Amino acid sequence: MEFDWGYFLSLFSVGAFWKACVTVIVVSALSWLFGLILGFFLACAKLSGPRWLSLPVKLYIWFFRSVPLMVLLVFIYNLPQLFSSTQSLLGVPFIAGLVAMTLTEAAYMAEIHRGGLLSVSKGQMEAGHALSLSFIGIQRLIIIPQAFRIALPTLINEYITIIKLSSILSVVSLPELLLTGQRLYAQNFLVMETLLAVALYYVLIVTLFSGLFRIIEKHLDLQRRNPQTLSDEACHTLRSNFSAEIPHAPSRTTASSPPILSLQAISKSWGHHQVLKGIDLTVQQGEVISIIGPSGSGKTTLIRTINALESIDGGAISLFGEDYLTSGTPQNKARVRAGVRRIGMVFQDFHLFPHRTVLDNITLAPRYHKLLDKAVSVSCARRLLDRVGLLAHADKYPHQLSGGQQQRVAIARALALKPDIMLFDEPTSALDPELVGEVLKVIQSLAREGMTMLIVTHEMDFALSISDRIVMMENGKVQNDIAPQTLKVNERAEPSLTRLREFMGVN
157-199 pLDDT, tens digit per residue, is 999 999 999 999 999 989 999 999 999 999 888 999 999 999 9
Q: What letter would DSSP give residue 259?
A: P
Asked if residue 35 has pLDDT above 60, the reply is yes
| Residue 85 dihedral angles phi and psi, to the nearest 5° | -70, -15
**Per-residue confidence at 245, pLDDT binned at 50, 70, 90?**
very low
289 within 8 A of 283, measured Cβ to Cβ: yes
Q: In what order do the strands lie in the sheet with 343-346?
A: 343-346, 421-425, 452-456, 288-292, 469-474, 477-482
DSSP character for 153?
Answer: H
Return the closest-CA partner of residue 408 out of 431, 380, 389, 423.
389
Superfamily of domain 5-220 in the CATH hierarchy: MetI-like (1.10.3720.10)
Check if the beta carbon of residue 73 is closer than 8 Å to that of residue 176. Answer: no
433/85: higher pLDDT: 85
Q: What is the mean pLDDT of residues 458-474?
A: 90
Q: Provide the CB-side half-sphere exposure for 113 (13 A, CA).
A: 23
Q: Which residues contact 437 (CB under 8 A, 6 or more apart)?
A: none
Q: How far apart are CA 328 and CA 314, in angstroms?
A: 7
CB 344 within 8 A of CB 307: no
pLDDT at residue 466 is higher than 50? yes
Pick from 107, 140, 101: nearest CA to 124: 140
Give the residue range(s) of CATH 3.40.50.300 domains in the chain: 261-504
Distance of CA 152 to the CA centre of its chain: 16
Q: Which helix (H) or strand (E) holds 291?
A: strand 288-292
Report DSSP letters for 125-142, one per residue.
HHHHHHTT--HHHHIIII
In this structure, are residues 138 and 122 in contact, taking their beta carbons and an 8 Å threshold?
A: no
Q: How many CA atoms lie within 13 A of 242 on its CB side?
A: 19
Count the residues in the chain. 507
Burial class (CB in 10 A: 0-12, 13-18, 19+), 444: middle
Taking residues 292-311, report their average pLDDT: 91
CB 342 within 8 A of CB 419: yes
In this prediction, residue 507 carries a pLDDT of 66
> Where residue 292 falls among pLDDT bands split at 50, 70, 90?
very high
| Model confidence at 44: pLDDT above 80 | yes
CATH topology assigned to domain 261-504? Rossmann fold (3.40.50)
Residues facing 453 on adjacent strands: 288, 422
Buried b (16+ CB within 10 A) or exposed e, 304-343: bbbbbbbebbbbbbbbbeeebbbbeeeeeeeebbebbbbb
pLDDT of residue 1: 66
Q: Does residue 142 surpass a pLDDT of 80?
A: yes
Q: Which residues neighbour 232 within 8 Å (Cβ) at sequence distance 6 or greater?
A: 392
Kindly tell me the burial class for residue 96, based on how many C-beta atoms sit within 10 Å of its own C-beta (0-12, 13-18, 19 or more). buried
Residue 503 near residue 292, CB atoms below 8 Å: yes
Contacts of 321 (CB under 8 A, 6+ apart): 258, 259, 262
- pLDDT at residue 490 in the model: 53
Instruction: Report pLDDT digits (tens) over 317-345.
Output: 999 988 898 988 887 888 899 999 999 99
DSSP state of 452: E
Say how far apart CA 371 and CA 152 lie, in whole Å.
Answer: 34
Lowest mean pLDDT of 119-133, 148-162, 238-252, name the range.
Answer: 238-252
Q: What percent of the chain has pLDDT over 70?
A: 95
- The DSSP H or E segment spanning 9 is helix 5-10
Q: Enumerate the CATH 1.10.3720.10 domain ranges in the chain, comma separated.
A: 5-220
Q: State how far the alpha carbon of 383 is from the alpha carbons of 228, 239, 245, 467, in Å.
A: 18, 8, 12, 26
At residue 251, does pLDDT exceed 70? no
Q: What is the residue type of 495?
A: P
Strand partners, 266: 279
Task: Pick the range with the lowest mean pLDDT from 26-40, 247-261, 298-312.
Answer: 247-261
Mean pLDDT, the chain, whole residue set:
89
pLDDT band with cut points at 50, 70 and 90 for residue 302:
very high
Helix (H) or strand (E) holding 262: strand 261-270
Lateral strand order in the sheet of 273-283? 273-283, 261-270, 314-319, 322-326
Cα 303 from Cα 452, distance rounded (Å) = 14
pLDDT of 248 reads 42
Could you give the maximum distance between any two Cα atoms of the chain, in Å? 108
The predicted model gives 380-392 an average pLDDT of 92
